[in-house]
């Protein structure tokens, strides 16, 4: 059985009251792609009824990035990097560890129950980064060495293109699927037979500039995802 686990690490740009002083006058930054993944939480909620379990965060990535490993140089942003170690540890204890540990424990439980986990991490990307235009509508990120991940993404892309041949769907773009992130962390703990880690990246030009197209793409993603789950016997379950 393939169990869908849905996560959204950068769903919002909320800053807890205790740390708002660090972001005074930075409302524009918080509202940009630097503060959160624009549109990701909406897409997450669209897919949520298909998932066996689901987790999301609305705390800004500029406080602490839940998609980064502890050793990553950008786990803390320019706003929090200079904080005393005790305050950083407080942030980790309050926001980082609870989220990451909940996801890890859920994968462990589903694997122990005899199922294979499909972890879909929902993200969006800015259409222009550092002056460079990104040329994709949808990115599907996976580890090329993991056969099941690769095959799942091939099938998902094929289903998407059946609905809309004009969609620009790219593999491991605009980031590499093996780059530091929550799926990469979980791959080190579970085999290919136990765990598939896929990062979904959708261009923010749609939620920002074209609501009609955005609604269409969200529906297409959900419709195209369903056959892959049905073929392997997965069914909707209780969300967390």
Question: Looking at the domain assignment, is residue 178 inside a domain?
Answer: yes
In this prediction, residue 227 has a pLDDT band, given cuts at 50, 70 and 90, of confident
* Confidence category of residue 231, pLDDT binned at 50, 70, 90: very low
- For the record, the structure tokens of 1 come out as 């059985």
Strand, coil or helix: what is 86? helix
Mean pLDDT (whole number) for 79-95:
98
Is 153 among the domain residues?
yes
User: Which residue shows structure tokens 């170690």?
Assistant: 85
C-alpha 74/C-alpha 65 separation (Å) is 7
Give the N- to C-terminal CA distance of the chain in Å, as an integer: 19
Number of domains in the chain: 1
Position 123 scores a pLDDT of 98
Q: Which stretches of 35-137 are assigned E, i.e. beta strand?
A: 53-56, 116-125, 128-129, 132-133
Specify the residue for token string 């599907």.
140
Which residues share a beta bridge with 202? 124, 138
Rounded Cα distance between 160 and 146, Å, is 21
Position of tokens 């880690």? 197
- pLDDT on residue 226: 86
Distance (Å, whole) CA 63 – CA 80: 6
With respect to residue 236, please indicate whether it lies within any of the assigned structural domains. no
What residues have CB less than 8 Å from 15, skipping those under 6 apart?
22, 23, 30, 59, 60, 62, 63
If 0-12 CB within 10 Å is exposed, 13-18 middle and 19+ buried, where does residue 48 land? middle
Assign residue 22 the CATH number of its domain.
3.40.630.40
Residue 233, pLDDT score: 36
Confidence of residue 232 (pLDDT cuts 50, 70, 90): very low
User: What is the pLDDT confidence band of residue 225, given thresholds at 50, 70 and 90?
Assistant: very high
pTM score: 0.94
Q: Encode 212-239: b = buried (16+ Cβ within 10 Å), e = exposed.
A: eebeebbebbeebbeebbeebebeeeee
| Token pair for 61 | 């990535």
Q: How confident is the model at residue 94 (pLDDT cuts 50, 70, 90)?
A: very high
Query: Considering the chain, what percentage of its residues have pLDDT values greater than 90?
Result: 91
pLDDT at residue number 108: 98
Average pLDDT of the chain to the nearest whole number: 94
Residue 143 resides in a domain: yes
Q: What residue numbers bound the domain in which 141 lies?
A: 2-231
Residue with tokens 């950068």: 10
Residue 193 is assigned to a structural domain of this protein: yes
Question: Would you tell me how many other CB atoms lie within 10 Å of the CB of residue 100?
Answer: 21
Q: Is residue 237 part of a domain?
A: no
Average pLDDT, integer, range 88-111: 98
Predicted pLDDT of residue 89: 98
Residues in the chain: 240
Write out pLDDT tens, residues 147-194.
Answer: 999 999 999 999 999 999 999 999 999 999 999 999 999 999 999 999
pLDDT at 223 over 60: yes
Confidence bin at 238 (pLDDT 50/70/90): very low
pLDDT in tens, 106-159: 999 999 998 899 999 999 999 999 888 999 999 999 999 999 999 999 999 999
Q: Is residue 240 part of a domain?
A: no
pLDDT band at 80 (very low <50, low <70, confident <90, very high): very high
pLDDT given for residue 237 in this prediction? 35
Structural domain contains residue 29: yes
């Amino acid at each position: 059985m393939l169990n869908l686990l849905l996560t959204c690490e950068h769903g919002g740009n909320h800053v807890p009251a205790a740390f708002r002083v660090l972001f005074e006058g930075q409302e524009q930054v918080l509202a940009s792609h630097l503060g959160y993944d624009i549109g990701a939480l909406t897409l997450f909620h669209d897919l949520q009824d298909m998932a066996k379990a689901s987790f999301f965060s609305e705390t800004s990535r500029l406080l602490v990035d839940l998609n980064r490993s502890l050793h990553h140089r950008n786990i803390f942003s320019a706003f929090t990097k200079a904080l005393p170690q005790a305050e950083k540890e407080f942030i980790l204890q309050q926001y980082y560890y609870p989220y990451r540990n909940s996801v890890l424990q859920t994968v462990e439980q589903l694997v122990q129950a005899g199922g294979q986990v499909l972890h879909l991490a929902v993200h969006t990307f800015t259409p222009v980064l550092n002056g460079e235009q990104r040329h994709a509508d949808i990115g599907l990120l996976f580890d090329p060495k993991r056969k099941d991940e690769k095959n799942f993404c091939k099938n998902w892309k094929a289903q998407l293109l059946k609905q809309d041949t004009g969609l620009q769907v790219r593999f491991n773009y605009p980031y590499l699927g093996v780059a530091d992130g929550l799926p990469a962390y979980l791959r080190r703990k579970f085999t290919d037979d136990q765990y598939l880690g896929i990062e979904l990246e959708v261009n923010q030009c749609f939620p920002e500039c074209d609501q009609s197209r955005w609604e269409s793409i969200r529906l297409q993603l959900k419709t195209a995802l369903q056959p892959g789950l049905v073929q392997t016997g997965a069914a909707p379950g209780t969300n967390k």
